């Protein structure tokens, strides 16, 4: 009876131990399955190899990269790599006596050949070999992390190419600027020389023509005097043209720092400078108290004077000119000026071309001028980063609008 009791107890113990073992193994299998699932969700390739480089496990990213199936283990790690890459990896691992993490980057061509320089079509990888040590501190295995950096490398490569292109373009621009500077310096010298060399003979011709037109003896007829007067007028127009051309050419030059000035003070000077014409035409000039602006004063004086002079010139002979200068604030940086007249006006379709150099809408017999006045105005406004435009109605009048920088407080 005692033997039977011992036998039953032994069987019960064995059954209990088998159940525990089964449950433990089942738990381990589930844990391993869960760990595999976790590995498969990691966005980088992962695998573990023994110290003799036998593959122990790999996640989905590695399997997909090498075209393997789940459960494909036991092969040698070097069988997955190009022979040249295997030699390099083995050398690094063999020399890793301190068991440090080894990292390096490189590329793989479509036929899995390793390359060290990025080019289009290459898969760029970063490999990290993490040593796993046992309790005694000896190498047991390596966990290999395989990170695909192709997109980042492609962007970096494109950025480098763009930077090289920009650098090349900047070098070319610097060379062109240098050439342009030299050309501008030569043009300045030529302009100064041409101004002197052209105006000197013109002044001589004009002086002699005036003397001839004033000659009183019988050998000089009225027709002769009229022709001499034509010469005087022609040379005067040439002098004006030369001055306007020089002004137009020099507007791009640096004139120093802008100054803060009352716009109404500039208009005071304009009225003073044009007083004779204003009185002769019995014109009325109206301008209100205008804001302070930060500009090149000499240029803006010429801008206002050209516009007022144009308004006086292009007025019907039977109508007294009325010119009104007003302002309105555009934003915290610019103020808009408007110079309105009751002159002859121009057709709306011609309001844009009027700012081009040498553009004339009337013959010289009707209105004198060089065709540069409004071109100079536009260049002055452009110089101050403003804009200029015209609103006009034929036989009613014209309003020239433009913006200039408002003075900062």
Domain at 37-148: CATH architecture: 2-Layer Sandwich (3.30)
Mean pLDDT over residues 292-321, rounded?
87
Is residue 64 classed as helix, strand or coil in its secondary structure?
A: helix
CA distances from 29 to 23, 26, 40, 58, 159 (A): 10, 5, 16, 17, 49
Pairing of strands 292-295, 322-329: unpaired
Q: How confident is the model at residue 86 (pLDDT cuts 50, 70, 90)?
A: confident
Q: The tokens 């009104």 sit on which residue?
A: 324
Question: Which secondary-structure segment (H or E) carries 184?
Answer: helix 150-213
What CA–CA distance (Å, rounded) separates 381 from 402?
7
Pairing of strands 102-108, 45-50: unpaired
pLDDT at position 188 is 66
CA–CA–CA angle 291, 292, 298 (5° rounding): 120
Phi, psi of 283 (to 5 degrees): -80, 155
What CA–CA distance (Å, rounded) separates 179 from 184?
9
Q: What region does 81 belong to: left with phi over 0, alpha with psi -120 to 50, or beta?
A: beta
Q: How confident is the model at residue 29 (pLDDT cuts 50, 70, 90)?
A: very low
- Asked if the model's pLDDT at residue 407 lies above 70, the reply is yes
Comparing 50-54, 142-146, 214-218, 256-260, the range with the smallest average pLDDT is 214-218
Beta pairing partners, 285? 323
Neighbour-count burial for 287-325, b at 16+ CB within 10 Å, e otherwise = beebebbbbbbebbbbbbbbbbbbbbbbbeeeeebbbbb
DSSP 75-92: SBGGGGS-HHHHHHHHHH
108-112, 125-129, 337-341, range with greatest mean pLDDT:
337-341
E strands present in 13-165:
45-50, 55-58, 102-108, 114-115, 123-133, 139-148
Is residue 138 classed as helix, strand or coil in its secondary structure?
A: coil
Higher pLDDT pick, 1 / 381? 381
What CA–CA distance (Å, rounded) separates 62 from 60?
5
Q: The tokens 């190009």 sit on which residue?
A: 82
Q: What is the DSSP letter of 54?
A: B
| Residues 304/267, Cβ–Cβ less than 8 Å | yes
Class of domain 255-405: alpha beta
Mean pLDDT over residues 168-187, rounded?
80
What CA–CA distance (Å, rounded) separates 95 from 394?
93
The predicted model scores a pTM of 0.48
* Residue ranges covered by each domain of the chain: 37-148, 150-250, 255-405
Q: The tokens 């004139």 sit on which residue?
A: 255
């Amino acid at each position: 009876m005692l033997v039977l009791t011992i036998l039953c107890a032994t069987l019960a113990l064995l059954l209990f131990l088998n159940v525990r073992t089964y449950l433990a193994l089942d738990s381990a299998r589930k844990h391993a399955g869960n760990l595999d699932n976790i590995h498969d969700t990691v966005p980088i390739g992962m695998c573990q190899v023994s110290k003799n480089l036998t593959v122990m496990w790999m996640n989905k990213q590695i399997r997909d990269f090498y075209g393997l199936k789940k459960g494909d283990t036991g092969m040698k790690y070097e069988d997955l790599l190009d022979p040249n890459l295997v030699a390099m990896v083995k050398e690094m691992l063999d020399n890793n006596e301190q068991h440090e993490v080894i990292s390096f980057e490189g590329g793989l061509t479509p036929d899995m050949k390793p390359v060290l320089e990025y080019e289009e079509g290459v898969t760029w990888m970063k490999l990290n070999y993490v040593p796993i040590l046992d309790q005694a501190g000896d190498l047991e295995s390596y966990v290999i992390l395989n990170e695909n950096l192709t997109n980042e490398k492609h962007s970096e490569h494109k950025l480098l190419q763009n930077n090289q292109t920009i650098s090349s373009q900047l070098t070319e621009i610097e060379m062109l600027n240098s050439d342009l500077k030299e050309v501008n310096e030569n043009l300045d010298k030529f302009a100064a020389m041409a101004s002197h060399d052209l105006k000197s003979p013109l002044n001589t011709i004009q002086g002699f023509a005036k003397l001839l037109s004033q000659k009183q003896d019988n050998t000089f007829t009225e027709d002769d005097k009229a022709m001499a007067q034509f010469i005087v007028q022609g040379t005067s127009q040439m002098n004006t043209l030369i001055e306007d051309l020089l002004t137009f050419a020099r507007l791009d030059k640096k004139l120093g720092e802008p100054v803060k000035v009352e716009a109404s003070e500039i208009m005071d000077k304009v009225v003073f400078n044009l007083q004779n014409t204003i009185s002769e035409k019995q014109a009325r000039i109206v301008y209100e108290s205008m804001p302070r602006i930060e500009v090149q004063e000499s240029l803006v004086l010429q801008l206002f004077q050209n516009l007022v002079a144009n308004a006086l010139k292009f007025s019907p002979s039977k109508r007294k000119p009325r010119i009104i200068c007003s302002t309105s604030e555009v934003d915290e940086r610019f103020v808009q000026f408007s110079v309105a007249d009751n002159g002859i006006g121009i057709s709306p379709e011609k309001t844009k071309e009027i700012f081009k150099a040498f553009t004339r809408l009337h013959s010289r017999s009707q209105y004198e001028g060089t065709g540069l006045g409004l071109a100079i105005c536009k260049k002055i406004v452009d110089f101050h980063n403003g804009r200029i435009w015209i609103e006009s109605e034929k036989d009613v009048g014209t309003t020239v609008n433009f913006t200039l920088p408002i003075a900062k407080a």
